[in-house]
Amino acid sequence: MNMVNVTIDGIKVQVPENSTVLEAARIAKVDIPTLCYLKDINEIGACRMCVVDVGARSLQAACVYPVSEGLNVKTNTKEIRDARRITLELILSSHDRNCLQCVRNKSCELQSLADNLNIREIRYMGTEEKKKPLDDFSASIVRDPNKCILCRRCVSMCKNVQTVAVIDTMERGYKTIVSPAFEKSLSEVACVNCGQCINVCPVGALSEKGEVAKVWEALANPDLHVIVQTAPAVRAAIGEEFGLPIGTRATKNMVASLKKLGFDKVFDTNTAADLTIMEEGTELIHRIQEGGKLPLITSCSPGWIKFCEHNFPELLDNLSTCKSPHQMFGAILKSYYADKMGIDPSKIFVVSVMPCTAKKFESERPEMNVNGLKDVDAVITTRELATMIKEAGINFNEVSDEHFDDPMGDATGAGVIFGATGGVMEAAIRTAYRLLEGEELEDVNICEARGLDGIKEFTVKLPNTGIELKAAVAHGLGNARKLMEKVRSGEADYHFIEVMACPGGCVNGGGQPIQPASVRNCIDLRAERAKAIYEEDEASVLRRSHENPTIQKLYAEFLGQPCGEKSHHLLHTHYVKRDLYPTED
Amino acid sequence: MSKCGCTCSDAKEKQLQEIIEKYKNTEGALIPVLHEAQEVYGYLPLSVQSKIAEGLNVPLAEVYGVVTFYTQFSLYPKGAYKIQVCLGTACYVKGAALVLNELQKELGIEVGKCTEDGKFSLDACRCIGACGLAPVIMINDDVYGRLKPEDVKGIIQKYKDMTE
């Protein structure tokens, strides 16, 4: 790589010739404020917060200005500070500055910037445009255009990374707004509820549809038996909300906090992930042996499911009919568990803590019920659980309890890796091998499935049956789209495909703790959080789903066999074709 | 919606498909397609934008973003009498905004919209080059200059009478 010499605030550095001034400044350890910039996702020089003096006629945006040999950059002059201040004051002048009640209070990048730039007054009046309506019709995502600062990070995430592309910038000038076409609600367009837009929003313009009040209500109701279950990825990230380093495995603190919040039972969705593997693994084998529709595609990610329903309706028969793990768990809790414990299922209230906003929509799907009762009554995100813990005054870092409750408390390492891209595939292979070959897979670490390549393809050889299982894993919907186009055209001939809607899988889900651009620009959250997940798998005594004693008992006492009649009724579902474009009014 | 009453929707759809087909593999074809589609339909409703989005493989949100960015694209049908109010500098300082307000009041519609009976549509436009007559409006090809808000009622009445 060719290097060039540049000087930044008097510091001489050598940087790669294709760097921007912002990247060069980072090498020189000079901090330039940014707002719209998000590495690899949004590099458009729109907000003008990062302006610097490069000796040109006017100040230039460091995030897009390319370096050249001998470039001399100043980042801290009165002219620059004044320009940044004016820009920021103008942004603030038309921002809904209701900071105290804002969901992003203390985690807002605009707020931090105003503090860092010592903004103590705003000299400009906002426009007289009337307040724009709040879009809270979606089951998962709330959009507040009054807080939007038009940075376009969400647009780029939705359009370029996820290829969902349901939001964009509309109108022009003062009237500019980020919204779906024809000012439709997110609930009326092909939004898949992945929530990646929320994670990149620097302010409170995008947030999850809150359900904390509903959960407090249930906890206060003495007639209800309130059960909480936590998805694998939650433990890998919730510590961040309490100042723990990114990638800390906080399972024990989380379990203890949930018990302190007053839930009657604290269960692990990993248990249901093991159940999912039994069902999905069996489904895969049936399809291979009986000439069913292949490839079989996983159905754990509700963002992916809705994406498929809108964009690839011809592939709906390829989707596994398995409900996602937390829905399966809800159905089992309101049938088997209720029966076993002698509790009226209508008095059971199931709360799912998920790294995901799409799970909120999923739990509202009419087909997600057991004998007329919703499988899951409330879905809260990792962030929402953190707010409950804070509200209750629980000292998260000081409490510790390693045990999920009986009688549904066992989970294997195969269940926990559901939280990272490739994990469902890896867990399924561990069990499918046993089911097909009649013996255990010796090395359970299937490293081809792990890691952050957009699409991972590999073959597993099954010596006894002579099958060569062709597998593919995609994470992030842009990658999923590429893979599905190959499946649709017949170019790909896989047996089994895993798709997770979010880049990196659930560890980087739309309901996970939000890290500001300053962190995201330097640290790959997906990799760090996945480490915690694989750590927990390594630490597990049992690492194959079919070894889980709770699951073995469940089949022996209640379900009979995987994909049997009871399973079909409780644990499987169906999908619907959805339009890609909204209809008139 | 439009009271056009004709049965030409199939013919229009066919034309639209031909336009899309013509530009299908051309990079950056969205704006010319929108122009030609608007010539066919007179405006760009959701159904037309959806077909363009699908045909060119461009997200609908992007199509709508472009349509609402440029003032020459319209989301609403145009009337039999298209009223254009010049908001160029000369007209503006001579009180065009007052004339425009009066027109909105008289017709009961906002700028960019069309009356329910399909007779009048109201748009603001850039300088039409008749600054000496400021403020100026055009109704189809007729030009009216040196207007005062109180002139509006009579002018509109003239067109109402014409069609009856």
Condensed to tens digits (0 to 9), the pLDDT of residues A253-306 reads 999 999 999 999 999 999 999 999 999 999 999 999 999 999 999 999 999 999
Query: Is residue A168 in a domain?
Result: yes
Tokens read off for A583:
């209809």
B61 in contact with chain A, both atoms CB, cutoff 8 A: yes
Whether residue B69 and residue A171 make contact (CB cut-off 8 A), yes or no, is yes
Residue B84: per-residue pLDDT: 93
Q: Is the dihedral of CA A32, A35, A38, A41 positive or negative?
A: negative
Residue from A210, A176, A215, A214 nearest A195 by CA: A210
Q: Assess whether pLDDT exceeds 70 at residue B37.
A: yes
Asked if A492 reaches chain B (Cβ–Cβ under 8 Å), the answer is no
- On whether both B33 and B95 belong to a single domain, the answer is no
How many contacts, defined by CB atoms under 8 Å, are there between A and B?
50
Asked, for residue B74, whether it belongs to a domain, the answer is no
In sequence order, what DSSP letters do the residues of A234-260 get, joined into one string?
GTTTGGGGGTPPTT---HHHHHHHHHH
Domain boundary (A208, A239, A258) is at A208
Q: Are residues A373 and A449 in the same domain?
A: yes
Look at residue A312 and tell me whether its pLDDT is greater than 60: yes
Q: Which residues of A touch B63 (CB under 8 A)?
A: 181
Q: In this predicted structure, what is the pLDDT of residue A394? A: 97
Query: Using CA atoms, how far apart are residues A43 and A432, in angstroms rounded to an integer?
Result: 44
Full domain range(s) for residue B62: 9-69
> What average pLDDT does this structure show over A218-232?
98
Rounded to whole angstroms, how far apart are CA atoms A177 and A534? Answer: 42
Alpha-helix runs per DSSP H in A312-381: 325-332, 338-341, 358-364
Q: Determine phi and psi for A182, rounding to 5 degrees.
A: 55, 30
| Pair B122, B149 in one domain | yes
Same domain, A144 and A249: no
A70 and A166 in a single domain? The answer is no
A99 included as an active-site residue? no
| One domain, residues A126 and A75 | no
CB crowding A231-260: b at 16 or more within 10 Å, else e: bbbbbbbbbbbbebebbbbbbebbbbbbbb
Classify A457 as helix, strand or coil: strand
Q: Do A168 and B64 touch (CB under 8 A)?
A: yes
Give the pLDDT confidence score for residue A585 in this predicted structure.
Answer: 66
Asked whether residue A545 is domain-assigned, the answer is yes
Per-residue pLDDT tens for A30-59?
999 999 999 999 999 999 999 999 999 999
In a domain, A103, yes or no: no
Assess if residue B45 is contained within a domain.
yes
Structural tokens at position B133: 């007559």
Residue A580 lies in a domain: no
- A344 CB-contact burial (10 Å; exposed 0-12 / middle 13-18 / buried 19+): exposed
| Active-site position among A362, A448, A498, A547 | A362
What pLDDT sits at residue A344? 97
Separation in Å, CA of B63 to nearest CA in chain A: 8
Domain boundary among B69, B92, B119: B69
Contact between chains at B54 and A159 (C-beta distance less than 8 A): no
**Cβ–Cβ below 8 Å for B54 and A581:** yes
Binned at pLDDT 50, 70 and 90, residue A415 comes out as very high
Whether A70 is covered by a domain: the verdict is yes
In B, minimum Cα distance to A168 occurs at B61
Do residues B15 and B62 share a domain? yes
Parent domain of A164: 122-208
Q: A165–B61: do the CB atoms touch at under 8 Å? A: yes
| pLDDT at position A130 | 75
Q: Indicate whether B104 and B156 sit together in one domain.
A: yes
Q: Do A580 and B49 touch (CB under 8 A)?
A: no
Instruction: Find the farthest-apart pair of alpha carbons in chain B and give their distance in angstroms, rounded.
Output: 53
Q: The tokens of A546 are what?
A: 């079919």
Cβ pair A181:B69 closer than 8 A: no
Q: How many Å lie between the alpha carbon of A31 and the closest alpha carbon of chain B?
A: 34
Distance (Å, rounded) from C-alpha A350 to C-alpha A335? Answer: 12
The predicted pLDDT at position A188 comes to 97
Whether ipTM > 0.85 holds is yes
Is residue A347 included in any domain, yes or no?
A: yes
Specify if A175 maps to a domain.
yes
> Which chain B positions have a beta carbon within 8 Å of A172's beta carbon?
68-69
DSSP of A284-306, one letter per residue? HHHHHHTT--SSEE----HHHHH
Residues A83 and A162 in one domain: no
The distance of A175 to chain B (nearest Cα, Å) reads: 10
Residue B86 has pLDDT above 70, yes or no: yes
**Whether residue A528 has pLDDT greater than 80:** yes
Residues A304 and A273 grouped into a single domain: yes
Domain stops at, among B69, B90, B115: B69
At A9, which CATH number?
Answer: 3.10.20.740
Same domain (yes/no): A247, A156? no
Best mutation target, B43, B46, B75, to test chain A (most A CBs within 10 A): B46
A306 noted as active-site residue: no
Q: Mark yes or no for CB contact A584/B60 under 8 Å.
A: no
To the query of whether residue A367 is one of the catalytic residues in this protein, the response is: yes
Q: Looking at beta carbons, which residues of chain B come within 8 Å of A180?
A: 61
User: Domain with B93 in it: what CATH number?
Assistant: 3.40.30.10
Q: Is residue B76 part of a domain?
A: no
A359 as an active site residue: the answer is: yes
Task: For A18-84, give the secondary structure using H, E and C.
Answer: CCEHHHHHHHCCCCCCCCCCECCCECCCCCCCCEEECCCCCCEECCCCECCCCEEEECCCHHHHHHH
Whichever domain contains A127, its CATH number is 3.30.70.20
B62/B136 same-domain check: no
A61: number of Cβ within 10 Å? 23
Structure tokens of A489?
């055209």
CA distances from A136 to A203, B57, B65 (A): 17, 29, 22
Residue B47 in domain? yes
Give the separation between CA A427 and CA A548, rounded to whole angstroms: 13
Q: Give A94-139 pLDDT, tens digit per residue.
A: 999 999 999 999 999 999 999 999 999 999 987 766 789 999 999 9
E strands, A408-466, where?
455-462
Residues A312 and A407 in one domain: yes
% helix / strand / coil in chain A, to the nearest 5? 40, 15, 45
Mean pLDDT of A394-403: 91
Per-residue pLDDT band at B61 (split at 50, 70, 90): very high
pLDDT at A407: 86
Strand order in the sheet with A378-381: A265-268, A225-230, A348-354, A378-381
Do A190 and A288 lie in a common domain? no
- Please tell me whether residues A313 and A355 are part of one structural domain: yes
Q: Are residues B46 and B91 in the same domain?
A: no
A332-391 residue pLDDT tens:
999 999 999 999 999 999 999 999 999 999 999 999 998 899 999 999 999 999 999 999
Looking at the structure, tell me whether residues B62 and B117 fall in a common domain.
no
- Confidence band, pLDDT 50/70/90 cuts, at residue A214: very high
pLDDT at A224 over 70: yes
pLDDT value at position B164?
Answer: 53
Euclidean distance between CA atoms A520 and A142, whole angstroms: 23
| DSSP letter for each residue of B60-100 | HHHHHHHHHHSTT--SSPPPSEEEEEE-SHHHHHTTHHHHH
Task: State whether B111 and B60 are in the same domain.
Answer: no
**Cα A225 to Cα A327: distance, rounded to the nearest angstrom:** 17
- Choose among A172, A581, A583: nearest Cβ to B60: A581
With an 8 Å Cβ cutoff, are A168 and B65 in contact? yes
The pLDDT of residue B2: 44
Same domain for B41 and B98, yes or no, is no
| A257 part of the active site | no
Q: Which of A229, A232, A231 has its CA nearest to residue A534?
A: A232
Report the chain B residue with the minimal C-alpha distance to residue A160.
Answer: B59
Q: Of B35, B69, B103, which residue is a domain's last? A: B69
From the list A50, A151, A201, A300, the catalytic residue is A300
Cβ contact A171–B45 (<8 Å): no
Pairing of strands A141-143, A206-208: antiparallel
In this prediction, what percent of chain A has a pLDDT beyond 90? 95
The chain-wide mean pLDDT, for chain A, equals 96
Contact B82, B42 (CB under 8 A): no
Q: Does any domain span residue B124?
A: yes
Quick count: other Cβ atoms within 10 Å of Cβ B17?
Answer: 12
pLDDT tens, position by position, A473-494? 999 999 999 999 999 999 999 9
- Residue A50 annotated as catalytic: no
- Each residue's pLDDT tens digit, B110-161: 998 999 998 999 999 889 899 999 999 999 989 999 999 999 999 999 998 8
Choice among A367, A391, A485, A538 that is catalytic:
A367
Inform me whether the pLDDT recorded for B44 exceeds 60: yes
Distance from chain centroid for Cα B112: 6
Report CB contact under 8 Å: A172, B69: yes
> Looking at the domain assignment, is residue A585 inside a domain?
no
In this predicted structure, which of A165-174, A206-215, A410-419, B72-81 has the lowest mean pLDDT?
A: B72-81
Q: What pLDDT shows up at residue B1? A: 42
> Measured at the alpha carbon of residue A266, what is the angle toward residues A262 and A269, in degrees to the nearest 5?
145
* B45 at A interface, C-beta within 8 A: yes
Please tell me the distance in Å from A395's CA to the nearest CA on chain B. 45
- Looking at the structure, do residues A186 and A222 belong to the same domain, yes or no? no
pLDDT digits (tens, 9 = 90+) for B91-100: 999 999 999 9
Residues A186 and A240 placed together within one structural domain of the fold = no
Q: Does some domain include residue B21?
A: yes
Give catalytic status of residue A364 as yes or no. Answer: no
Task: State which amino acid sits at residue A303.
Answer: G
- Is the domain of B103 the same as that of B144? yes
Picking from B46, B59, B62, the nearest residue to A584 by CB comes out as: B46
Domain count, chain A: 3
Catalytic residue (choose from A211, A240, A241, A283):
A283
Domains contained in chain B, number: 2
Please check whether residues B87 and B35 belong to one and the same domain: no
| B94 and B159 inside one domain | yes
Q: What are phi and psi of A349, to 5 degrees?
A: -120, 115
Structural domain contains residue B2: no
Question: If you measure CA to CA, which chain B residue comes closest to A181?
Answer: B61
Given an 8 Å threshold on Cβ–Cβ distance, is B54 in contact with A168?
A: no
Distances (CA, A) of A475 to A41, A158, A303, A505, A518: 16, 14, 11, 6, 24
> What are the angstrom distances between the C-alpha of A546 and each of A256, A275, A278, A409, A541?
28, 8, 7, 15, 13
